[in-house]
Amino acid sequence: MITPRSYKGMRDHLPDAMRLRRYITDTLIDVLRRYGFEELSTPIVEYAETLEGKIGEDEKLLFRLQFGSDQLALRYDQTVPLARVIAANEGKLGMPFKRYALGQSYRGERQQRGRYREFWQLDADIVGVDSPVADAEVIAIVCESLQRLGFAGARVLINHREILSGLARVAGVEAEAAANVYRIIDKLDKIGLDQVREQLVQSGVSADAAAKICDFISLEGAPDTVLAAMQSTLGDDEAASAALANLRAIIENVALLGVAPESYTLSPALARGLSYYTGCVFEAVLAEPPMGSLLGGGRYDNLIGMFSKRSLPTVGFAFGIERLYDLMVELKMGPTFERFIDAYVTIFSPELEPESLRLASELRAAGLSVLTAYGPARLGTQFSEADRKGATLALVYGPDDASANLVQIKDLRTGAQEPAARDQIVAAVQQKLQT
RNA sequence: GUGGCUGUAGCUCAAUGGCGGAGCACCUCACUGUGGAUGAGGGGGUUGUGGGUUCGAGUCCCAUCAGCCACCCCA
């Protein structure tokens, strides 16, 4: 016998889990469709060279595999494969191109809460425009989606990579040390300002520069206030000023798109790890319980250029389905899914089995989800199974019903039972389901 | 990848180094044309796995696997 075990960090999704997971992804995809996104899906396996050199230090987390002499890897996210497929099909797609994709990605991390080696993401991107309207649109989508799922308290944190670069320059940090600075300030929420200052100094940043950086990342308040304060620190840096103007435009458009002010905030400490981001970056977090970010995204204007002579500006993000799901289970959110089968057709006796199966067939042809018994059994047992399997109605066709041309329809929600004419059964069942 | 904690029935958890249990869930019956309630009965475990110490190990030791937490980093 083989021990039935699954690989660490990877989990099976049983029907109970899949109902909620499907609800989550259906809800999110519905929002994306209303914004005009189209589905574009790529393979899980890529040539290793496609993924290498795009994601930064975490490249060591790539699951690598070899088939014959082919050097392959499982995708680490869906963004890099998107860049590849866009570069190869640019002429067919028509810019700007808005895509979404639902699927697994793989990272060889040690498993922890909210972190799995196989995890599902719903990725969405707008390819081919650098307008701040596009950045604003994806942020609006994110806010709307979280609302729809019921995460009223979630907040979207927004920052800009070029503002961080400007901060590093203005503080006098060497270009090579900048990545380290981003990594440290990104931990502000977790370790606090004093620890950030300490770690900055430890990493070789001067006390003066560390103080400047800490002042900057402590900025908070309404976007206008924060932007003005940023401007006064970074005003002399040309690239940072451009980034501030860009971020201002994005924020203005987010408001125009109808997003409530309390659902997003500027967060000067937000850095995000993936090395391909070039502009605006954002993520969504929930204050309680702790779960890391529910989604993450930003603008990456140079990634497609790594696969093509011509680069294409792109902004995108990915929902973390595992985290959304785990949180919704923990917080008892989402529908209850008590009745997800329309009808269960009982089988009274061997003689009446054929007619019961015909009955089920008619209901299915009308588009209903129908279970049948797999043989005669005590009616009590059959009702019990019908209830357990989530049926709304149970149908009985017994000898008395057969001779009277009736079918008994029992509503398992209430226990009430009524007869219906055999030749009107589809309409009668549909009518019952409406109530 | 590094460090720490945990692992007993499907689930939640008991059991001083001395006979492995409870509640819930599941199955059968009371009930041969009616589920949820009630009652009676039943099935379930190599105590994650493999070694070791001991007269005796769920309990102590080592290894391993998995999960949780902290790093690292991230959805």
Question: What was the pLDDT predicted at A2?
Answer: 72
Strand B within 7 A of A123 CB: no
Name the band, by pLDDT with cuts 50, 70 and 90, for residue A174. confident
Strand B within 7 A of A415 CB: yes
Round and report the angstrom distance from CA (A111) to C1' (B6).
15
Residue numbers 6-35 of A with CB closer than 7 A to any atom of strand B: 7-10
Strand B within 7 A of A295 CB: yes
Distance of CA A397 to CAs A88, A343, A360, A364, A373, Å?
A: 60, 13, 11, 17, 12
Mean pLDDT of A276-286: 93
Round and report the angstrom distance from CA (A316) to C1' (B4).
38
CB atoms within 10 A of CB A286: 20
Round and report the angstrom distance from CA (A190) to C1' (B5).
21
Question: What was the pLDDT predicted at A260?
Answer: 94
pLDDT at residue A288 above 90?
no
Measured CA to CA, the distance from residue A104 to residue A282 in angstroms comes to: 21
Cβ–Cβ under 8 Å, residues A170 and A236: yes
Strand B within 7 A of A109 CB: yes
- Strand B: which nucleotides have any atom within 7 A of a protein Cβ? 1-3, 26-29, 31-36, 65-75
Distance of CA A126 to CAs A268, A327, A330, Å?
A: 24, 28, 32
Q: What's A182-208 look like in SS3?
A: HHHHCCHHHHHHHHHHHHHHHCCCCHH
Round and report the angstrom distance from CA (A356) to C1' (B62).
63
Residue with tokens 């979280």: A146
According to CATH, what is the number of the domain A15-330? 3.30.930.10
Strand B within 7 A of A316 CB: no
pLDDT digits (tens, 9 = 90+) for A63-86: 999 999 999 999 999 999 999 999
Domain A341-434 has CATH 3.40.50.800: yes
- For residue A81, give the nearest of A123, A121, A52, A42 by alpha carbon: A42
Round and report the angstrom distance from CA (A5) to C1' (B15).
29
Round and report the angstrom distance from CA (A109) to C1' (B73).
9
Residue numbers 226-255 of A with CB closer than 7 A to any atom of strand B: none
Residues in chain A: 435
Strands (E) in A293-433, as ranges, are 293-299, 314-320, 341-345, 370-372, 391-396, 406-411, 417-421
Give the DSSP per-residue string, A225-236. Answer: HHHHHHHHHHTT
Round and report the angstrom distance from CA (A330) to C1' (B21).
30
Measured CA to CA, the distance from residue A406 to residue A383 in angstroms comes to: 19
Mean pLDDT of A19-40: 96
| Average pLDDT of every residue of chain A | 93
Strand B within 7 A of A410 CB: yes
Name the band, by pLDDT with cuts 50, 70 and 90, for residue A1. low
Round and report the angstrom distance from CA (A3) to C1' (B18).
32
pLDDT digits (tens, 9 = 90+) for A360-416: 999 999 999 999 998 898 999 999 999 999 999 999 999 999 999 999 999 999 999
Lowest-pLDDT range of A71-85, A165-179, A305-319: A165-179
Mean pLDDT of A1-25: 86
User: Nearest nucleotide (C1') to the CA of residue A284?
Assistant: B75
- State the span(s) of chain A assigned CATH 3.30.930.10: 15-330
Question: What was the pLDDT predicted at A292?
Answer: 86
Cβ–Cβ under 8 Å, residues A51 and A80: yes
- State the span(s) of chain A assigned CATH 3.40.50.800: 341-434
